[in-house]
Amino acid sequence: MALIQFTNKGIYCKQGNFYIDPWHPVDYAVTTHGHADHVKWGNKNYLCHELTKPILKQRYGLEDNVQTLPYYKEIDINGVKLSLFPAGHVIGSSQIRLSYKGEICVVSGDYKVEYDGISTAFEPVKCHTFVSESTFGLPIYNWQPQEIIFDQIKSWIIDNHQKSKTSILVAYSLGKAQRLIKNLGDEYPIYVHNSIANLNEGFAEAGVELPATIRITPELKKDELQKGIVIIPPALADGRWVKSLIQPAIGVCSGWMAVRAGRRWRSADAGFALSDHADWPGLLAAIKATEAEKVFVTHGSTAVFAKYLNEIGISAEEVTTKYGSEDDDDENLIKPEQAP
Amino acid sequence: MKRFSQLIQELELSNKTNDKIAALVSYFTEADDLDKPYVIAMFTGKKPKRPVPTALIKQWAIELSGIPEWLFAESYHSVGDLSETIALVLPPATFEIDKPLHQWINELAQLNGKDDERKRDYILNAWNGLGTQERFIFNKLISGNFRIGVSNKMLVNAIAKQSEEDSSKVMHSIMGKWTPDEITYQELIKGAHVNTDNSWPYPFCLAYALETLPENLGSTADWQAEWKWDGIRGQIVKRNGELFIWSRGEELVTDQFPELHFLKDELDDGTVLDGEILSVKDGNVQSFSMLQQRLNRKTINKSQLNDAPIGFYTYDVLEHQGNDIRQEPLANRRAILVGVIARLSTKNIVELSPVIEFETWEQLAELRLTAREINSEGIMLKKLDSIFHTGRKRGDWWKWKINPYTVDTVMIYAQKGSGRRANFYTDYTFAVRDGDKLITIAKAYSGLTDKEIKEVNAFVNKNAIEKFGPVRTVKPELVFEIAFEGIAESKRHKAGLALRFPRIARWRKDKKADEINTLDDLRQLISSANQLKSDHQA
């Protein structure tokens, strides 16, 4: 029998009697990472990476029923050996490796192959069955190295300063925000929204070192913000507060910005194709490296990507899941679909 | 090309007219002077001859990127723009080419007439030497089709600001006859070519739709009412023995309408007329679909000349005895126009567009309802003391169109849009009932709010039955009221009829699919419309 099944509650391992990122409450949930489409409230027990724990606590108030593991350490659940491998998506993100009677299956959650300076770098894991996302599973998505993107962001910020504009970067609170903070340097003070500041505190307690940032409070003067860099989550980009700033210039950081239709998103003044997901070559390279005999493609360009994998000789199947389908602070909130 | 590429990015990212104008002004200040006339030509739709057909470009892009054709098609449907799709799927550049824009354009022009192999070498070399954004620009240069939300007016305003020239002079100048390889930027903005060129037209004066009751316009004595004709707005220019016919799309269409060529002998030099190109047979204006048979043809055969003879209904005179009289009040211009038309010895082809006599607004409102009987779209209201404005201006001229026809239909197909809406199902196909079958009668993609588009999008995602490439067959459930301007029999359409200007009037959430109109309802509409016309003509 296969090691995983796709049920209406989520990805289920019958032999171990646990679910991976279920979307309906279950007794035992293994969590790949802290984004809302992968974590549902109400499971009896959670198992996740050590650095995902502060996120579950911060965002969902989960603490007592959360069990943690470091990367690579193997545990036994009802005879199934389980271990976590870095997925490189956000801090704490993990691929779940299951091994049972010589059969190996890896559920990758969300992943990217480029090292972002803050999330533990992605590592391909050899397996028989691989479950992959395909958020950017079209050959039009080819990321540039992040140094180039950060150079673009930095020169945009310098240009804004020269024009007395306030630089506002729109980024998901979990993942993209920390990646920006880590890579923007210390030339300008960085002001962050509450949701980002709270997560950063959680990470600090767990021992993740991040450059200093300033929490945005009503007392802060607008001209101070103008002299620094402001980071806010997508939900606030259209809000009144942003409009009240001095000459606001909005830069959206998301893989969707690679396409012009995406860049014309709402009120964006600039778009930077900085993604926490693998691009087309990244997805293909990651999948080939697993040497998997069977690939299940979950959320994203599932049909197209699965069809292509089959054409190049990798047996693949599309699977319907609820990942990437709901409003949360993952890449999907900024997807052009959300903003006609 | 880097500076031009930057301009395009700035134009695409800004939502405000002022920002766009600022980007254009700084471009025209900083860019290579040799590039500027090409940019103006491109933005005003002066297309060079396409050196390589789209099919070949696409084929080469597929070969070079090494992806299967279906995957290229999927990518295109996600991106919504062919030039951009190609730029994105090609492998990264292997070296760097840096050439000025005008050089690229000239090199592309020189590809005309070369064999496919030479063309292929050139295009592939360019692709390999350019980054994604510049590749996109290069692909747009091949197609010559650069639509990035810069109107002629906006461009003219920016050039006028940058060069400190009068904007209407700049508009004249860039609307005239010139080619970017024969003129410098300085000559162009100074209008050096305009005086020696007999052809240049004036910018059209355009009207806004009347949004209020005509009673609010004041006394009827201050207004002239005319029929609003449904043809091609045109300008006829006669200077120094030459005749030119311009369409509103700023195209010279002189050759397409031989019926009007007698004006070369009969109009005085220094005359410019504004009016509507129509198909007029036996004194009656025919429908737009009749006129359409005559448009954009290289040759015109006898039966076309016979079935759809051309007439020109004159609205205005802009130049008289060589003088620009656009600043004269309309009443004076009309008096001059009456004289000009009266002096023509060939009758019944170029005529005055009649002025509608009326005393009260109620009376005019009633007359307006008869517009359709004479193939008119409604009424134009022009203030008697109005000058002939440049472009669209609020207040002096209004179009007061008749309400469109409507029909209730059900959506049966949906397709993703392009550009800004590339990821949304925004193009819909609608059907009416014919017995127990549904029969397609219109395609439309405008008229819904963003919120409604989202809702329809969600419906399509949930209720798609079949895929045909980009098209999704959906459960026939959503009822839409479609508005249209006219209806005519058509052999090309399965329904046997075609709607003119169909668009979504509203989403009828209150109606079910079994409450939509039938094909018979529409057939009746055609016969009653024909009845009305014959009554009128009798």
Q: At residue A332, does pLDDT exceed 50?
A: no
Residue B195: the pLDDT is: 55
Q: What is the mean pLDDT of residues B389-408?
A: 86
Domain count, chain B: 3
Q: Chain A residue with minimal CA distance to B469?
A: A304
Task: Select from B9, B10, B72, B74 the residue whose CB has the most chain A CBs within 10 Å, as the one to mutate to test that interface.
Answer: B74
Residue A157: the pLDDT is: 95
- Nearest-angstrom CA–CA distance, B363 and B225: 12
Interchain pair B12, A263: CB under 8 A: yes
Q: Which residues of B471-497 are buried (b: 16+ CB within 10 A; e: fewer)?
A: bbbbebebbbbbbbbbbbeeeeeebbb
Q: At residue A275, does pLDDT exceed 60?
A: yes
Of A244-253, B441-450, B514-523, where does mean pLDDT reach its minimum?
Answer: B441-450
- Nearest-angstrom CA–CA distance, B404 and B499: 11
| CB-neighbour burial class of residue B452 (10 A; exposed 0-12, middle 13-18, buried 19+) | middle
Interchain pair B75, A138: CB under 8 A: yes
Same domain, B466 and B394: no
Same domain, B113 and B212: no
Global pTM reads 0.69
Residue B484: the pLDDT is: 85
- Nearest-angstrom CA–CA distance, A305 and B526: 49
Select from B126, B143, B160 the last residue of a domain.
Answer: B143
- What's chain A's Rg over C-alpha atoms? 20
- Nearest-angstrom CA–CA distance, A140 and B72: 9
The answer to whether B12 faces chain A, any CB pair under 8 Å, is yes
Residue B418: the pLDDT is: 66
Residue B419: the pLDDT is: 61
Counting every residue written for chain A, the total comes to: 340
Residue B137: the pLDDT is: 95
Q: At residue B488, does pLDDT exceed 90?
A: no
Residue bearing tokens 């005055």:
B352
Select from B360, B375, B401 the last residue of a domain.
Answer: B401
Interchain pair B79, A271: CB under 8 A: no
Residue B191 lies in a domain: no
Helices A176-183 & A146-162, crossing angle to 10 degrees? 70
Interchain pair B71, A139: CB under 8 A: yes
What percentage of residues in chain A have a pLDDT greater than 90? Answer: 79
Topology agreement, domain A5-140+276-338 and domain A146-272: no
Residue B45: the pLDDT is: 77
- Nearest-angstrom CA–CA distance, A112 and A41: 26
Task: Select from A260, A266, A308 the residue whose CB has the most chain B CBs within 10 Å, as the one to mutate to test that interface.
Answer: A260
Nearest to B324 by CA among B174, B228, B195, B232: B195
Q: For residue A199, what are its two tokens?
A: 């997560």
Active site annotation includes B177: no
Interchain pair A340, B426: CB under 8 A: yes
Nearest to A110 by CA among A337, A288, A321: A321
What percentage of residues in chain A have a pLDDT greater than 70? Answer: 94
Query: Residue B234's CB: how many other CB atoms inside 10 A?
Result: 25
Nearest to B229 by CA among B333, B127, B315: B315
Residue bearing tokens 């950063």:
A200
Backbone angles phi, psi at A5, to 5 degrees: -130, 150
Strand order in the sheet with B208-209: B208-209, B397-401, B376-383, B223-229, B355-356
Q: At residue B461, does pLDDT exceed 80?
A: yes
Q: At residue A170, does pLDDT exceed 90?
A: yes
Q: What is each CA distance from A270 to A87, B10, B18, B175, B202, in whole angstroms?
A: 29, 9, 17, 33, 39
The answer to whether B13 faces chain A, any CB pair under 8 Å, is yes
Nearest-CB residue to A138 (from B78, B426, B453):
B78
| CB-neighbour burial class of residue A157 (10 A; exposed 0-12, middle 13-18, buried 19+) | buried
Residue B292: the pLDDT is: 81
- Nearest-angstrom CA–CA distance, A264 and A130: 35
Same domain, B434 and B392: no
Question: Which residues touch A14 (CB under 8 Å, ≥6 apart)?
Answer: A1, A5
| CB-neighbour burial class of residue B367 (10 A; exposed 0-12, middle 13-18, buried 19+) | middle
- Nearest-angstrom CA–CA distance, B223 and A1: 85
Chain B: give the shortest CA distance to residue A262, in Å. Answer: 7
Q: At residue A326, does pLDDT exceed 60?
A: no
- Nearest-angstrom CA–CA distance, A137 and A110: 13
Interchain pair A308, B420: CB under 8 A: no
The answer to whether B15 faces chain A, any CB pair under 8 Å, is yes
Q: What is the mean pLDDT of residues A121-148?
A: 96
Q: What is the dihedral of CA B181, B185, B186, B192, to 10 degrees?
A: 50
Task: Select from B5, B420, B421, B453 the residue whose CB has the most chain A CBs within 10 Å, as the one to mutate to test that interface.
Answer: B420
Q: Which residues pair with B376 in a beta bridge?
A: B229
DSSP output for B362-427: HHHHHHHTTGGGGTEEEEEEEETT----SEE-TTTEEEEEPPPEEEEEEEEEEEE-SGGGTTSEEE
Interchain pair A308, B78: CB under 8 A: no
Q: At residue A114, does pLDDT exceed 60?
A: yes
- Nearest-angstrom CA–CA distance, A191 and A208: 19
Interchain pair A304, B457: CB under 8 A: no
- Nearest-angstrom CA–CA distance, B271 and B366: 36
Q: What is the mean pLDDT of residues A21-36?
A: 94
Nearest-CB residue to B420 (from A140, A142, A264):
A264
Contact A99, A84 (CB under 8 A): no
Q: Could you tell me the maximum CA-CA distance found in chain B, to the nearest angstrom? A: 75
Contact A258, B89 (CB under 8 A): no
Q: At residue A340, does pLDDT exceed 70?
A: no
Q: Which residues on B lie below 8 Å from A258 (Cβ)? A: 88
pLDDT for A72-100, tens place per residue? 999 999 999 999 999 999 999 999 999 99
Q: Which residues on A lie below 8 Å from B12 (Cβ)? A: 260, 263-264
Give the three-class secondary structure for B354.
coil
Task: Select which of B20, B36, B228, B382 is catalytic.
Answer: B228
Same domain, B18 and B99: yes
Q: Which residues on A lie below 8 Å from B68 (Cβ)? A: 308, 311
CATH code of the domain containing B138 = 1.10.3260.10
Question: Which residues touch A110 (CB under 8 Å, ≥6 apart)?
Answer: A32, A33, A35, A38, A87, A89, A90, A93, A133, A135, A276, A277, A323, A330
CA neighbours closer than 13 Å in the CB half-sphere of residue B199: 15
Q: Which residues on B lie below 8 Å from A149 (Cβ)? A: none
pLDDT for B146-160, tens place per residue? 777 787 778 988 999
Hey, what CATH topology would domain A5-140+276-338 get? Metallo-beta-lactamase; Chain A (3.60.15)
Same domain, B382 and B409: no
Same domain, B225 and B119: no
Residue B493 lies in a domain: yes
> Which of B:85-104 have CB within 8 Å of A?
85, 88-89, 92
Contact B315, B354 (CB under 8 A): no
Q: Which residues on A lie below 8 Å from B134 (Cβ)? A: none
What percentage of residues in chain B have a pLDDT greater than 90? Answer: 51
How many CB contacts within 8 angstroms connect chain A with chain B?
A: 73
At residue B127 the predicted structure's pLDDT band, cuts being 50, 70 and 90, is very high
Q: At residue B210, does pLDDT exceed 80?
A: yes
Residue bearing tokens 């690679």:
A258
Q: What is the mean pLDDT of residues B525-533?
A: 68
Element spanning A104, H or E: strand A103-107
Residue B174 lies in a domain: no
Counting every residue written for chain B, the total comes to: 538
Give the three-class secondary structure for B497.
strand
- What's chain B's Rg over C-alpha atoms? 26
The answer to whether B79 faces chain A, any CB pair under 8 Å, is yes
Tell me the CATH architecture of domain A146-272.
3-Layer(aba) Sandwich (3.40)
CATH code of the domain containing B381 = 3.30.470.30
Of B47-56, B123-132, B333-342, B414-423, where does mean pLDDT reach its minimum?
Answer: B414-423
Residue A337: the pLDDT is: 35
Chain A: give the shortest CA distance to residue B423, in Å. Answer: 6
Nearest-CB residue to A268 (from B13, B74, B78):
B13
Name which residue leads in pLDDT, A324 or B117. B117
Give, in degrees to the nearest 5, the angle at Cα B277 between B199 and B230.
Answer: 135
Write down the domain spans for chain A. Answer: 5-140+276-338, 146-272
List strand residue ranges (DSSP E) for B119-230, in order. 205-206, 208-209, 223-229
CATH code of the domain containing B436 = 2.40.50.140
Chain A: give the shortest CA distance to residue B368, in Å. Answer: 38
Question: Which residues touch B511 (CB under 8 Å, ≥6 apart)?
Answer: B408, B479
Average pLDDT, chain B: 88
Q: What is the mean pLDDT of residues B439-460?
A: 84
Same domain, B216 and B234: yes
Say which DSSP state A222 is in: H
Element spanning B469, H or E: none
Q: At residue B167, does pLDDT exceed 80?
A: no
Chain A: give the shortest CA distance to residue B453, in Å. Answer: 8
Same domain, B357 and B274: yes
Residue B164 lies in a domain: no
Interchain pair B79, A140: CB under 8 A: yes
Q: Which residues on A lie below 8 Å from B15 (Cβ)? A: 267
Name which residue leads in pLDDT, B10 or B275. B275
Residue B537 lies in a domain: no
At residue B421 the predicted structure's pLDDT band, cuts being 50, 70 and 90, is low
Residue B171 lies in a domain: no
Residue B209 lies in a domain: yes
Same domain, B115 and B48: yes
Interchain pair B15, A337: CB under 8 A: no
Q: What is each CA distance from B447 to B15, B417, B461, B465, in whole angstroms?
A: 21, 14, 20, 25
Same domain, B349 and B221: yes
- Nearest-angstrom CA–CA distance, A90 and A49: 12
Residue B195 lies in a domain: no
Interchain pair A139, B453: CB under 8 A: no
Average pLDDT, chain A: 91
Same domain, B214 and B361: yes
Q: Which residues pair with A105 in a beta bridge?
A: A98, A129
Nearest to A236 by CA among A200, A272, A266, A197: A266
Name which residue leads in pLDDT, B275 or B209. B275
Q: Which residues on B lie below 8 Å from A337 (Cβ)? A: 423-424, 457
Interchain pair B423, A270: CB under 8 A: no
Q: At residue B469, does pLDDT exceed 80?
A: no
Residue A335: the pLDDT is: 46
At residue B454 the predicted structure's pLDDT band, cuts being 50, 70 and 90, is confident
Q: Which residues on A lie below 8 Å from B416 (Cβ)? A: none
Of A40-54, A235-249, B343-357, B521-535, where does mean pLDDT reach its minimum?
Answer: B521-535
Task: Select from A134, A135, A140, A267 the residue whose CB has the most chain B CBs within 10 Å, as the one to mutate to test that interface.
Answer: A140
Residue A329: the pLDDT is: 43
By residue range, what is the domain housing residue B456? Answer: 405-529
Give the three-class secondary structure for A68.
strand
Q: At residue A336, does pLDDT exceed 50?
A: no
Interchain pair B84, A336: CB under 8 A: no
At residue B46 the predicted structure's pLDDT band, cuts being 50, 70 and 90, is confident
Select from B143, B159, B183 the last residue of a domain.
Answer: B143
Q: What is each CA distance from A306 to A284, B258, B327, in whole angstroms?
A: 11, 59, 67
Residue B197: the pLDDT is: 61
Q: What is the mean pLDDT of residues A4-20?
A: 95
Same domain, B234 and B327: yes
- For chain A, list residues whose CB is within 8 angstroms of any CB belonging to chain B: 138-142, 258-261, 263-264, 267-271, 301, 304, 307-308, 311, 335-337, 340
Q: What is the mean pLDDT of residues B5-24?
A: 86
